[in-house]
Structure 1
């Protein structure tokens, strides 16, 4: 299972229904959608025989008002992953730098688009990041630099002022900043700065808003960059349901606040439990934790218990000792730690 969230393969493997699997491998908000969103879906069902708006105008207008960014500086996609591929294809960078460990689709998008040079800066020490990035950029000029912020799978957040400084000192490079988890630390977003700089910001409604099954993401950047990206889009790639829900849910402050309060409580429980077990983990601003467990076999053990966690051995520089576990419902979180204690030999 290459990514988190593959409950379908897990279901076939352990012979359990999809509803019996606790999916802690994907970092998606477990809270239910607000009732008014569900009502809007029902109300708009008569429109499903119409094609979706290929320009996602209603969402872009809403986003423009919310963040004070120009309408023409926004492009939407079938999840932010589609936009990663479109950006690489549209901008055709000859040389790319990726800050690792991170989301594996950056490297894959470069490989599929036959990028000549892909280099990596790897560290699991947050204090070393900018020092290593600066050193590599001073040595080689890159057309594009990928930075995931907050980072997946470590959960760390980089100070946006440092990213801005790095980008402003390297104006010939496009800095692609993936903010899929920025809703947990919104003050660190570079969305407003991106419209007049060499930064392109990627955002997703998959994680914080729990829309993994609908696929909706967007990018914000200079208008000339956004125009290039749009020329490579497939028509009608974003379905109508995704657009209707996205337009409403990004305005729902009550849902945002409830989600943040919920994650704060459950993250406190997570960290207390991890500290109690004396396990090494990365302090995370997001709704997941990268945990190091030396004892082998935890992925298989949890899978047989009906719990899906993320094996991080396919992240560059990591191995099978690292797992990523997302924060879910309180019942699911408690179940995970009970099974973890059994795996570690603490509980019979």
Structure 2
């Protein structure tokens, strides 16, 4: 049975394996990485590490205190992990049993589906507006803002979903939540059935350090903490993450940079009569026939096709916004690829 679940889950291509295959493309619009790199405060902190930082086991308390202060919660509301990917696995392994039903936001992060399947659960795809009732399931995965579209679910709608599904645990992935002014963290802590995922891989630019955390009510976090590895994040990663979390100016600079590049890309893509998602983040979803994706791939452009996002009904692909030079190269490639539509 376990082997069949693994085979079923392995049919899904996810960021990690996709990166290994395609990250060397000439024009890389694939992985969600910060084109500005990371905060200079991170580099400074890592240059000042000591022998002790390498030789002793990690102490999570200082970083947890930084998270608690930033999000106005307490330490028992927080569990750390090796990026949000590892925390998604932890959530599914800890909270799901064979045969449980899981509702996943249609066309969102593939690992929600993969880890649910590996836990032996039955997966159902729904749009958020279809979740405003008791779905009678064990877990509900939401992505806000969504990956791949960069579109936002309103806080009011999330609250309705949480309130209507008292017997389920709602997992809200806010991996790119820095691009919006609202978070469900405070409401999650006060609820009995909601947890919020955060990562430092995207906006903070620390994809290589693998740091994520989960915030929720004490009862849920206690279960996850019990099942978690004793040292899921290294000392070096914790030092870098603490520095990144304290640099508000870098996040503002990133948001301003992405907003400018997003405006440029949307304008150029729209001129090609292609539909672009109403994104507020560093991701854009472009609706188009598969032949354009094929042409882009053959011309040396890395994109994520809609098939990478389980349940997605729309044909197209996701790009992550890069620097102006790369974005211009992408537009040139897209112009050539889209020329086939005019014939």
TM-score normalised to structure 1 length: 0.87
Whether 2:144 is the aligned partner of 1:149: answer yes
Structure 2 residue runs without a partner (length 5+):
1-11
Two-structure CA RMSD over aligned residues (Å): 2.2
Give the Cα–Cα distance (whole angstroms) in 2 for the partners of residues 84 and 261 of structure 1: 30
Residue 334 of structure 2 is aligned with which of 333, 340, 343? 340
Structure 1 contact 7–21 (Cα < 8 Å) conserved:
no
Number of equivalenced pairs: 326
When residues 21 and 42 of structure 1 are mapped into structure 2, their CA distance, relative to the original with a 3 A threshold, is farther
Structure 2 contact 293–305 (Cα < 8 Å) conserved:
no
Give the Cα–Cα distance (whole angstroms) in 1 for the partners of residues 217 and 39 of structure 2: 34
Give the Cα–Cα distance (whole angstroms) in 2 for the partners of residues 90 and 178 of structure 1: 17
Whether 2:242 is the aligned partner of 1:238: answer no
Whether 2:74 is the aligned partner of 1:70: answer yes
Give the Cα–Cα distance (whole angstroms) in 2 for the partners of residues 56 and 295 of structure 1: 46
Q: Deviations over 1:124-173 (max 9, x none)?
A: xxxxx42x212xx44x4112111111111122101112211221232222
How far is 1:31 from its partner? 0.4
Give the Cα–Cα distance (whole angstroms) in 1 for the partners of residues 333 and 67 of structure 2: 42
Give the Cα–Cα distance (whole angstroms) in 2 for the partners of residues 209 and 22 of structure 1: 22
Give the Cα–Cα distance (whole angstroms) in 1 for the partners of residues 217 and 205 of structure 2: 28
TM-score normalised to structure 2 length: 0.88
Give the Cα–Cα distance (whole angstroms) in 2 for the partners of residues 45 and 343 of structure 1: 51
Partner of 1:218: 213
Stretch of structure 1 that moved more, 197-206 or 313-322: 313-322
Give the Cα–Cα distance (whole angstroms) in 1 for the partners of residues 29 and 88 of structure 2: 24
Give the Cα–Cα distance (whole angstroms) in 1 for the partners of residues 125 and 314 of structure 2: 20
Give the Cα–Cα distance (whole angstroms) in 2 for the partners of residues 319 and 109 of structure 1: 21
Give the Cα–Cα distance (whole angstroms) in 2 for the partners of residues 88 and 295 of structure 1: 33
Stretch of structure 1 that moved more, 147-156 or 36-45: 36-45
Give the Cα–Cα distance (whole angstroms) in 2 for the partners of residues 340 and 184 of structure 1: 26
Secondary structure of 1:44's counterpart equals coil
When residues 91 and 298 of structure 1 are mapped into structure 2, their CA distance, relative to the original with a 3 A threshold, is closer
Give the Cα–Cα distance (whole angstroms) in 1 for the partners of residues 56 and 317 of structure 2: 41
Partner of 1:186: 181
Partner of 2:31: 26
Q: Deviations over 1:200-246 (max 9, x none)?
A: 00111111112112111100011121111012212322122211111
Partner of 2:90: 86
Give the Cα–Cα distance (whole angstroms) in 2 for the partners of residues 41 and 56 of structure 1: 16
How far is 1:310 from its partner? 1.0
Partner of 1:14: none
How far is 1:296 from its partner? 0.5
